[in-house]
Amino acid sequence: MDRENLIDGAGRPHRSIHGGDRRRYLLRELPAGGWEADVLAADREEDRAEEDPGVSCRVCAHRITGDTDRIAVNGSHTHTFFNPAGLLFELGCFRRAPGCLVSGEASDQFTWFAGYLWRPAFCAYCAAHLGWRFEKEGHAFFSLILANLHNG
């Protein structure tokens, strides 16, 4: 994983800070709203987490997204695809995944959603591969591997 080009589920750049066996990610630069906006956003996310236990990483139990962030893409929340190596993936689509970090350059090679570029998405805590972020001008969503997630 290219740790120099990591971004979170909201599109903000991060860098890794290693301490013991824990990994933490910090913003490389402040978003336009500054610290106050970050604090308010974090408070809203904590409130949402209490109301909606959501979806977590199966490896480390880090909260990845909420049940309320499930969306339908091309008429369905779930999709089943093979990659070029023949591996089968059952995926669920989510409007956002704040617990994910996205890495690398966007690619159009073997995209599963026509017109979208993709980048791999990893757990922000343990770096387990959780799926992909699909993006095109003005729109993005996460398609996450259901077998790598745990519901509430």
Tell me the backbone φ, ψ of residue 138, rounded to 5 degrees.
Answer: 85, 0
> Could you tell me the pTM of the whole model?
0.69
Residues 99 and 42: beta-carbon distance below 8 Å: no
pLDDT in tens, 10-69: 554 454 444 434 344 433 333 444 444 444 444 455 555 556 779 999 999 999 999 999
pLDDT tens digit string along 98-112? Answer: 999 999 999 999 999
Question: Residue 69: which of 90, 46, 53, 89 has the closest Cα?
Answer: 53
CA dist 123 and 97 (Å) reads 10
Note whether 92 and 54 are within 8 A (CB): no
Whether CATH 3.40.50.720 fits 3-151:
no
Whole-angstrom Cα distance, residue 9 to residue 95? 10
> What is the pLDDT, as a whole number, of residue 53?
75
Q: Where are the domains of the chain?
A: 3-151
Please give the residue that has the higher pLDDT: either 26 or 118. Answer: 118
